[in-house]
């Protein structure tokens, strides 16, 4: 390993140190799905807000157990949405979710009663105090924290927020990101026929699709040829669009057309590192642009782009979103694996579960950085550290989900 090739851990420390948490902003409930909560949600009310019936039946009261066979007059009726009612005694016909009339403390299901007349019933079962009653605050008590800061808001959180009457929440600002793909061989238009030597641009659509899942806002996407001046102009357009983080793909290796390092030097950018002891993606570059925007220069191979995004860009996004460092799962390896020493490998993998409910991580075939199909089959990343060159089945490895906000979901049983 050359002296200027950093270990992954050292490169990551540089990325994290250069990243800054973004301020919070207010977001309407209708637009906060997928946003990261900046401050904890503390309930200003009890939920349910009042004692209510868990079923259709009759609300009653008593000092102790009310025994089967008791006959009671029907004093009134309480439906969902009815307000305060003062009960004198007897039985109140009540609907599911209706507020219990004041003074009543239990509900007997309608099927456990016998109607003796339009105004009188007989109980067919004993009824204890608090039976079939949902008490105020039994779900959420006033002044309790119900959602922690750092939570990525999902539909179930919105259900809870709506039930508490919240119209808006404080969320972390989305990092504004631009994507620049380089290469005169790239074709963006799927309707355009490929000329000899051309390929479809897969990196641009991948990054534009995955970045929002990682909590970012994509503000600019562009493809430029192998030209330093065009790349510098594209950088300016990305910054003008509001990007504070730019991801480029391609042109960071050592070939004649790998112009990104020189282009960055010409505009006064500070290259913080170039080349990391990883596979795929060793030529990865990280720089600070004038004005403090950050740039990740990823190699052009598709899986190098996926690894650079997942293990360098996404940790930076976590800092910007105010999230703690990600903790991997530890899983047993399903199949044996060996690799070259001195490089940390990021492996397209599949978390699987067998018929007895045991989880294991399977390293997929086709780990070369140009091969996209195995990535489509993968649901996780398995990590083999630089110092390890061979692992037997059952060895524990670090496992990451497809994205830092996505938990790996096991696939079908082992064949």
CATH number at residue 387: 2.40.340.10
pLDDT class of 2 with cuts at 50, 70, 90: very low
Q: Please tell me whether residues 18 and 30 are part of one structural domain.
A: no
Q: Quick one: pLDDT at residue 243?
A: 98
226-230, 266-270, 273-277, 302-306, range with the lowest pLDDT:
226-230
Dihedral sign of CA atoms 310, 315, 321, 324 in order: positive
* pLDDT one-digit tens code per residue, 42-82: 999 999 999 999 999 999 999 899 999 999 999 999 999 99
User: Does some domain include residue 280?
Assistant: yes
pLDDT class of 1 with cuts at 50, 70, 90: very low
User: Does some domain include residue 413?
Assistant: no
Q: Quick one: pLDDT at residue 253?
A: 85
* pLDDT one-digit tens code per residue, 186-196: 999 999 999 99
The last residue of a domain, from among 151, 172, 193: 172
User: Does some domain include residue 227?
Assistant: yes
User: Does some domain include residue 341?
Assistant: yes
Q: Quick one: pLDDT at residue 413?
A: 54
Q: Please tell me whether residues 201 and 122 are part of one structural domain.
A: no
Residue 244 has pLDDT above 70, yes or no: yes
Q: Quick one: pLDDT at residue 257?
A: 67
CA distances to 98, 139, 154, 228, 243 from 177, rounded to whole Å, are 50, 40, 23, 21, 5
Strands (E), 38-193: 41-42, 52-53, 57-60, 71-78, 91-94, 106-109, 113-117, 120-123, 133-134, 145-147, 168-172, 176-182, 186-187
User: Does some domain include residue 406?
Assistant: no
Q: Please tell me whether residues 78 and 157 are part of one structural domain.
A: no
* pLDDT one-digit tens code per residue, 76-126: 999 999 998 888 878 999 999 999 999 999 999 999 999 999 999 999 999
| Alpha-carbon gap, residue 281 to 249, rounded angstroms | 11
Q: Please tell me whether residues 295 and 362 are part of one structural domain.
A: no
Q: Please tell me whether residues 338 and 234 are part of one structural domain.
A: no
> Which residue range is the domain that position 18 belongs to?
8-22+174-320
The last residue of a domain, from among 172, 198, 219: 172
User: Does some domain include residue 411?
Assistant: no
* pLDDT one-digit tens code per residue, 330-357: 999 999 999 988 999 999 999 998 767 8
The last residue of a domain, from among 264, 299, 320: 320
Q: Please tell me whether residues 309 and 395 are part of one structural domain.
A: no
Q: Please tell me whether residues 187 and 103 are part of one structural domain.
A: no
Say which CATH number the domain at 270 has.
Answer: 3.40.980.10
Q: Report the mean per-residue pLDDT for the chain.
A: 94
How large a percentage of the chain has pLDDT more than 90?
Answer: 90
User: Does some domain include residue 408?
Assistant: no
Q: Quick one: pLDDT at residue 254?
A: 72
Q: Please tell me whether residues 128 and 142 are part of one structural domain.
A: no
| Alpha-carbon gap, residue 13 to 314, rounded angstroms | 13
Q: Quick one: pLDDT at residue 85?
A: 86
Q: Please tell me whether residues 93 and 228 are part of one structural domain.
A: no
Q: Please tell me whether residues 119 and 85 are part of one structural domain.
A: yes
* pLDDT one-digit tens code per residue, 281-327: 999 999 999 999 999 999 999 999 999 999 999 999 999 999 999 99
255-259, 372-376, 390-394, range with the lowest pLDDT:
255-259
Q: How many CB atoms lie within 10 A of CB 206?
A: 18
Residue 89 sits at the vertex; the CA angle it makes with 87 and 90, to the nearest 5 degrees, is 120
Alpha-carbon dihedral angle through residues 374, 378, 381, 384, given to the nearest 10 degrees = -50
Q: Residue range 377-405: average pLDDT?
A: 96
Q: Please tell me whether residues 258 and 225 are part of one structural domain.
A: yes
Q: Please tell me whether residues 257 and 310 are part of one structural domain.
A: yes
Say which CATH number the domain at 144 has.
Answer: 3.90.105.10
Look up the pTM and report it: 0.89
pLDDT class of 227 with cuts at 50, 70, 90: confident
CB-based burial of residue 151 (10 Å sphere; 0-12 exposed, 13-18 middle, 19+ buried)? middle
Provide the domain count of the chain: 4
Say which CATH number the domain at 79 has.
Answer: 2.170.190.11
pLDDT class of 371 with cuts at 50, 70, 90: very high
User: Does some domain include residue 90?
Assistant: yes
């Amino acid at each position: 390993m050359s002296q200027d090739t950093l270990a992954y851990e050292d490169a990551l420390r540089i990325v994290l140190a250069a990243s800054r948490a973004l301020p919070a902003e207010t977001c309407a409930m209708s637009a906060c799905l997928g946003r990261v909560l900046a401050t904890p949600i503390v309930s200003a009310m009890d939920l349910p807000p009042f004692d209510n019936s868990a079923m259709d039946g009759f609300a009653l009261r008593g000092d102790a157990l009310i025994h089967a066979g008791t006959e009671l007059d029907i004093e009134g009726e309480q439906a969902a949405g009815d307000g305060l009612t003062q009960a004198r005694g007897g039985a109140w016909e009540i609907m599911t979710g209706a507020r219990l009339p004041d003074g009543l403390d239990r509900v007997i299901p309608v099927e456990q009663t016998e109607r003796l007349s339009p105004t009188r019933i007989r109980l067919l079962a004993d009824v204890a105090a608090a039976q079939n009653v949902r008490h105020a605050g039994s779900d959420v008590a006033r002044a309790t924290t119900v959602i922690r800061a750092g939570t990525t808001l999902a539909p179930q959180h919105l259900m809870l927020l709506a039930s508490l009457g919240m119209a808006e929440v404080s969320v972390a600002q989305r990092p504004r990101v631009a994507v620049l793909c380089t290469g005169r061989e790239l074709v963006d238009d799927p309707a355009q026929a490929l000329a000899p030597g051309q390929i479809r641009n897969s990196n641009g659509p991948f990054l534009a699709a995955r970045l929002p899942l990682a909590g970012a806002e994509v503000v600019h996407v562009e493809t430029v040829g192998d030209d330093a001046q065009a790349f510098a102009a594209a950088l300016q357009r990305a910054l003008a669009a509001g990007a504070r983080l730019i991801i480029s793909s391609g042109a960071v290796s050592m070939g004649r057309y790998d112009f990104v390092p020189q282009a960055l030097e010409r505009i006064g950018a500070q290259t913080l590192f170039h080349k990391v002891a990883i596979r795929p993606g060793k030529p990865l570059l990280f720089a600070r642009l004038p004005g403090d925007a950050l740039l990740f220069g990823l190699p052009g191979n598709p899986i190098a782009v996926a690894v650079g995004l997942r293990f360098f860009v996404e940790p930076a996004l976590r800092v910007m979103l105010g999230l703690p460092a990600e903790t991997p799962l530890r899983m047993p390896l399903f199949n044996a694996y060996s690799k070259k020493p001195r490089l940390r490998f990021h492996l397209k993998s599949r978390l699987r579960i067998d018929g007895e409910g045991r989880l294991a991580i399977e390293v997929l075939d086709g780990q070369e950085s140009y091969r996209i199909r195995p990535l489509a089959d993968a649901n996780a990343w398995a990590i083999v550290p630089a110092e390890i060159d061979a692992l037997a089945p059952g060895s524990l490895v670090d496992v990451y989900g497809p994205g830092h906000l996505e938990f790996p979901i096991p696939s079908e049983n082992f064949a």
